[in-house]
Every structure is written in structure tokens, then in C-alpha cells.
Structure 1
């Protein structure tokens, strides 16, 4: 700060190193030229004034001040300052497929000067607005054709009005395209228009790289109308992302598929209508029938269930359950205890006859043989 004060300069501080080149450029520009000149100067019109209007005169009163700047290489100077700077006061240019106009003087204010009260000032400012809006185009049989720039493509719209005679025959209108690439021969093609809304037809034409497209509309009466040539101002991957491009694309997709545009995905479950969903029972019945058939074959081959039931029945016959007493036996107080008397042992019971021996004996009885 002390060095800047002693040398009559200025001191800047920044926390971002990327801001240093901008500060040096701004300081150099401020030293080389002051941005706002408050001296009253007269604008000198050039031959470019005929681009704006044919009714404006080449002489105009002074302006109270103007913003000192440089003319771009591709711009056209319409008015220059009459002082030693010869700086542009009004310049015209192009941006993409549009038109631009830059006025460095003050249109209305304290430093507008006598130029604001000029009799031709309304026509001057109106000519600037008409130039930026583009040339006016008349309709052909109440049909208006327009071009719309899209990311990587161009859309040609054909609008109808209630006064259009027989709008159903508008589909006969064709578009002749002439596509040119540097180093190759031009390619010609014809595309139809399809209904996009209730009162307009459209056609989307893709643009690749350095293509220049020239579209000509052939009307039904044999006449034609040539639209301005279009090309991509930059590659689609370098195009700036607009805020409403995603919403517009979602709305177009919903309209094309007869759906609804939703910003929240969770809302889709509330919009799905309830419906019955049939559940086929034939596979389950086929599976149950197959399992029953396999179980029957398994039982016939192994007799697993029959043998198990017979074994359980045999065990139940060999071990009968003791009968339950019907009541409690009461003992008398004066009853004498029983005397142990010797009992003669009973002979052992014969062993139980096996099923195999029983079957042989029954077979012998039926046949009259001996076991």
C-alpha cells in the first residue's frame, strides 16, 4: 500500500491466484483508456446506417457521453465518435444465427445530451429493435414457417391458423434440404412434415459437426420459400446447459408417450391405477399331479408306508395297555394283612407263532397238506 501510494498507483488484494490476470488486465485497461467519456461528441454515421433504416439522416446532434471500447473484428460500425478516439458509438454484429446491436451512448438520462431530444430518435431506437428482432415474414395462405435451434439439431415448425383453408391438406407440404460439408459435394433430400400439435407441423433435422443446412419449403400451389441457412455455433458437447432444457425434454417425452412429467420419482406409485393381476394355477396343479404320481410309484415299489403301518399295528398288539382301575380300594382299619401263601408256578406259555409259520399252516389247511 505504501509503494502504491508513493508511486501514485493502486493496490489490490485477492485470495485467488486465478484473479491476478484479470486484475492486471483491468488495471491496464483503466490506465490506457477511461471507460466513460463525458465530453459531448457528435456521432458520425457510416454506410452501415442503411442496414437499420432508410429514413434516418446522416447527421445527428451530440451525445453527452459514451463508453469507450474497441470494435470487434467481425462487427460493423454504424456510428463513430468525432473526437480523437474515433471509438464506436453504435455497432452491429452476429451471434450464432441471431443479430446483435451495441450502443455505447446513454439512451435516456443526464448524460444523453441533445441526442435524446432529436426528432428522429424514436425512429433510431425503433430501427435498432427491428434489426435485432429480424426481418418480418408474411404468411403464405395463413401458414407460417419458422426454424428453432436445438442441441445438435434444428426444428422446422409450420404453424396454421383458424383461417387456413383445408388444414388437412397441409401434410402435402414438403421440405427440400440442401446439406453442405466442407470438402464434399452438397447433398439434397426431401423430408415430410408431421403433426406435432393440434395446429402445427414440425420436422427435426440433425446437424453434424460443420454441416450447413439450407431448407426450402415447397407449398401446395407450386411456390417455394427458402429459410435462412443454419449451422451449429459449437459442438453439442460444448453447448451451455440451460436451466429449463431438462424440463422441456421431459415434457416432450411425456407428451410423445402420452404420459405425465414428474419431478419426483416417488410420485409415480401414486399415479399407477389399481388393477387385478391374474395368477395362473395350472403350473401348481401340474406339479401336484406329478408329485402324486411319483409318490404312488414309490409306494408300489417299496411299500414303505404300508410296512410302517403294519409294524406299528403289530407292536400295539404285543404290548396291550393295562386296564385302569375304576376306583380306589379302601382298606379297613381292622382288616388283617394277607398271609403269604405259596403258589405253584404256572407253566410258561408257548411262544407266539410267527407270521411266516402262521401263513404256512393256513396254506396247508386249505390245500389239505401237512405243515
Structure 2
């Protein structure tokens, strides 16, 4: 229960208090001579009384008051009279307010305002026209002003409204009210008796721009006053493309529709709802429009010719402009790629790309805002040497395979060049042979019991430095490492014989994974590599190569790694050799390649999977990777390994598909025409990665305000160097629904920003051509469109917007009210401060003290002996000779 609260003492003229110390001091100085002959007690009493009287008089002149805060009701009722509120509802709200005022009683302070687009006090003399927009911000702002008074600025605002604002910013007004201690409560006008059933198409959310062939998400927002069954039809350019039965619940209903957009140009989209019951039909349909642009351009980069042929066929059938080229031809800069919206990198090892080429892809996505789809295969991700590379940094998955408690047995064969040239070194580095020895030692250290190791050293001839050996324990590893340490250089270079020996040894080993790593800095004139690699493939033996220095036969080694199913590495620093060798060993022992039948399971909601009905096909394999935290894993295996993942990278997007795209490979069922959704799946993957079909240097928008009576035309323009394009002649040519056209200038409002707000007189669809000129030359153009419905937004609401009303109440400590008694029963928010004047009491006290002052001066006090030299006298009781009276300071009766 609220109680009175004291606020202390206040002064109307506080500056007068500054005169108090000097006045008291003056009294003490002036009266001292007059009371000097008085006894000490009488003198002190007299001075104290005079000082107190003066103090009381000065305090009274300062007019002090005593403050008391008493709770009281300070309420403003705001009644909605906009177009969306019926006459029956207005009458009900006014009656509710009259009853609430009656129950609050005469000691409350109340006011009533009515609002639509504007707000004013009810009964102010000028009639507020009914209808129009709903501006809750205006209502709350005026109500706050009505609450303010010299006594109190706090209080309560009671909104009687349906909550559908079409103008202003109610949350902004709410924050200001909360800061001033004002609460906002609401009375939902749905309580105004039995309302007839009503369904409206409130809005139709359609992307303003799209590409030809895009499958876009359209959302029809329907308002309903009750549980109503209805049919929703969506038409594209007067052709019905979707029809579905919906059950609408009271309030807001959002119904999604996937719509494929056809050729370029302007397209009208209409949503119509046919309810079983409805009171009016003019708000049951709504038309909006969009601009469809050219389909995107895609560059497919394949490591081997023809390996992406089926994927290219699918994308072209979807309408995309697809170009194909070898991934080895990625340019060192992004300039040749600016004409593409996305790139697809198919089963390409990172080791086959230079650092500049990887940087090109990185800048293509991160700074140009384009898309990249990375498709797996035997030479991608972990097996492709992605780990630690620039390419891996871009991916929504980490190329490092997850650690497994179980793994397949491994057979690793190292073929090390120990020719005379390996004894040399660059700069102050250790020799190439020393680094090769260190590489072998570190690689062996990564092996585990059960693995097999073999090391062949060669120059013009070869020898088994470590014959085929199965690791038993740590002692085995140390023994092998000791033998590696004694390797010395000498002789020429002959690669084929040691490679042949390693193959023959590997073919006799029983191991799930067999891998050969060749390290050399020289060239060899041997022939017959292709035949050897074909035999290796039969035994599933893979080969990676490491070219140490530019003197190595880099072309041969790259070709051997490609045909051998491994990775090609090139380094001009001998110190990098151990890292490369351990990386190869790590890839091998972690067994990134998973070849078995795999079921793809949805892991998270993703736009890449929309409109894919039924079960997904199985896969025959994939590359094991690790998901990244910020990425969305759309599909995964039963073990939790990512199959399809995507994320935003800089300004662009990157998608990773960890299986392959080969018609005869792991994903054959996903590319087969037998799966009816193959085209939809692959086109959605690629199209999602593309940027929006707008010019980033010339962003335009035509946005009607909620009421539909005005539209904001806006342009954001940049120059080629990324700076703001200022001071340019910017215009908008508007094609009106009646076929006429109008050109308006868009003045500059901010750096690079040009905008203008226009009144819209007629409903219908408007087309806008934005242009920018430098002199007489048009340098930029862009299209846009917008629609103004009939009736406006006010006629498209049904029921009560409880979401907004609850937001306003919760943000200010208000609540929902149903009966006037709910308002009366709640504790008052405001307190009225009453001031009690203290100056009459101070004057009265001063008047009462004045006779006491006179009495204190005239009253006889007990005698006191005064000694003056050798003589004495008695004061206040004995006559004293005149000279003695002069000496003791007695002057007359005072």
C-alpha cells in the first residue's frame, strides 16, 4: 500500500540565507557594549535571544516550506479513432473511459486524448477527424505532456487501441516514457463485444531483386480475428503458381511460399486468401512486384578435364551461365574474375595451386563479395593438403579430420634423394639432405604400433635404408631413427628404380592405407612412370611428391602426384621439408578418406535444403573434416562429420561439399537424373553462394511508408575506388500506374546518399528508373519497383496487435487492463507533492521571543562582587560611587 513520504524542507528564496551569518555577527557586535555590565548569565541569555530572533526573521523571509509526497492517480486515456477501429469499438472505448474516470474519483487527475494520424485532447474544441493512420508515438508523446505538471510528471497512460501502428515509432516513445517514470498500459479493443470474423492479407514479403531462375521465399502475412480455415493462392503475372489450405489462428499468421521466378524484367506477385467466412473482401488480396535480373555467371574450376561435366550440365539446365576451365589457370589477381558471381572448385588439391592463386580465391570472396563452392574428392580437403593453407582458412569446415579411437593400419614408404646436390643448402639453412633426414625421423615418430615403414635412399642407384618393418613399440621407432641419422650423400639421380622398389614392397604389405612419399631436388631421364603408376593404382597405393628447389623436375613430380592420387609439394626452403613430410604422414594416419555407404542427415535448418521433399540419396564416400563453430552444417553423417556446410566469409559466402561431384563417384546418386531433385539441390547450393543481383556501387531502393501515402526513393553511390560518389546529378524517373511518367531530382543528404520522399496519390504498381549523371553522360542506371495497395494498411488489419502492445507495457512496467476496476485496483504510479508553508510559524516564534528578550534585559540577577584595586563594591544591591560605576562600565539603567 502506498503511503505519504516526506521530501524535506524547501526555500522559495534560498539566497536570503546568505544574510544570516552577517546579521547574527552584527547583533553580537552591536549589543556587546550595551550588555557588558550585565552578569554573565543575563548577558549570554540576551545575546542568544536576539540572535535567535534575527535568525527566525531571516528564515521567514526565505519562505521555507515542508514537502510531503502523497500518492494520487494521474492518468491519461488515449482512444484510437483511426480507420482500423470501427464505430462500435470507438463507442465502447469511450464508455470504458467514462466508467474508469467515475471509479477513480474526484481526487484523481485525468485527461482524455483521441488519436489517429495526429493526437489531441478530447473536447478541445476542434474535432479530430476519424479514420486515417494510427500513430501511437503521437498518442504517447501528447499523453506524456498532459501528465506533466508543476507537482508531478509521472503517471499512467492507458491506450485503448488495436495496436496496429502505421505511422510513427511507438517503441521510441515507449523508451522516453519509461525514462520519465511513465507507465503505459493498454485495453485491447477486442473486448468490445462480439466481433464478426475477419481475414486480411496484411503484407506480402518479396525480395525487391532476384535472378532469373531463382527460387525465392515469399511470405504472405495474414491477420485473422479467430480460428478460420482458408485457401491461399499465389499468382505470378496472373498465373496461379501455388494453392494451399491453411488454418489461421487469431492474430498474425505468416505463410511461406517458394516461388521460382522466370525471365528478366518486372513481375507482379499476388496473394489472395479465400476464407470460409469474412465480413469484407476488399482486403483479401494484395499485389506486390519485384525486379528479376540476368542469371548469374559461374566459373567451374576442375582439376581434371571432364570431372565436373554432369554438374555443369545441371547448372546450365537451370539457366546459369557456366564457364569451365582448369583450376591450374586461376589468375594471380582477381581482375579477370570480376565478371563472375560464383566459382566452383572441384576436387582440386591445394598443393597444385600457388599462394597467389589461393589468395585470388580468398579476395574474390572476402572483398568482392562473390561466392565459392568447394567440392570434395580424393584430392581435396585433408588429402589435398588444405590444412594450414589459405584455402583452408576460407572453408566452413576444417580440413583436419576428426580424431578417431579406431583407425586403419598404415604402410608408409619414404623414397629419399641422397644425391650429391642434396648436400647443398640455401643461405644459412641446413643442407637439403639434413632436412630430408629430419623429415624422415619426424614422419617415423608419428607412426603407431601395427603400422609399416620402409625407407629407400637413392642417387644413381638405390638402397634400403630401412627395409619394410612393422612398428612394434617405441624401441622400434628409435632404432629406425638411428639408422636414418647415418644417411650420407653422393652420386647422381635416378628416380624410377627406387620408386619401383617401393611399389613392389608396398604391394606385398597387408595394410588398409599404402602411401609413398618421394623427396628429390634433381631430374631423371627415366621412362615408364605411367605404367608403374597404373600398377600402383591396382593395389590402391598412392604417391605424393616433394620438389626441393627449382632445379627439381617440377613438371614431372607434379604429374606423378596427380596420377598417383596424392599431393604435389614445392619448396625452395630446405627447412620446410620436415613440415611437408609430417603433414603427409598426418594425412595418412588420420585416414581422411571414408569409403562406405553413407546416409546424409539434416543437421540444421538451411536455405540450401529448402523445397527438397522426401529422403535424400545415399553416398558412397566422403572426406572426413571437422565442423567450424560459426558455420552452418546443413548435412552430416551418422558420425557427425560434415557433408554440406556453409558460412559468410567477409563480404561473400563459401559452401563446402565434402563428397565429390563425379557421375561415377561417391555422389553418383545425387547427380543422377533418377533423383528428381538433383537440379534443384545443386542449383540452390550454387545460387545461395552468389551475391544479391544489385550493384554494390549503386544501391537503390523505393520503400513506401507503412501508411502507403509516401514513398522514400534512396540511392547509395560509390566511385570505382570505393570512395563516396558526391555531387552527382541523381534522378528517378517514375512510371505511374496510369501510364504517365514523372522525373524527380534526388538531392544529396549524406556522403554518397541521395534521397527524396514523395507523396503517393494513387494505388497501384510503380516502376522506377534511377540514374546518375556526370555532366551530360549517364554513368549508372538501376531499376526498382513498389506497390501501393487498395485499401491502405489501415484497412488490412484484423484483431489486436498484442505483440506490440505487450512490448510497450513490459518496457514501462504497465499491464493489460480489461475492466475499469483493474485500473482502480492497481497502486497509483504518481505522487502529488504538497508544500506546508513554515514562515508564519517562524514569524510567530520570533514574536513570542521578543518579550522574553525585553524581560531578560530588565530582570534583576543575583549580585556579584567586583574588585577594583584595593577597594571593593557590591553590584546590583549596593550603591556604588560614581567614579567606581564608571570603572566597572555601568551606564544608567541599561
Q: TM-score, normalised by structure 2?
A: 0.18
Q: Which has the higher contact order (CA 8 A, sep 6+)?
A: 2
Q: Write 1 or 2 for the structure with the bigger share of strand.
A: 2
TM-score, structure 1 length as denominator?
A: 0.40
Larger Rg: 1
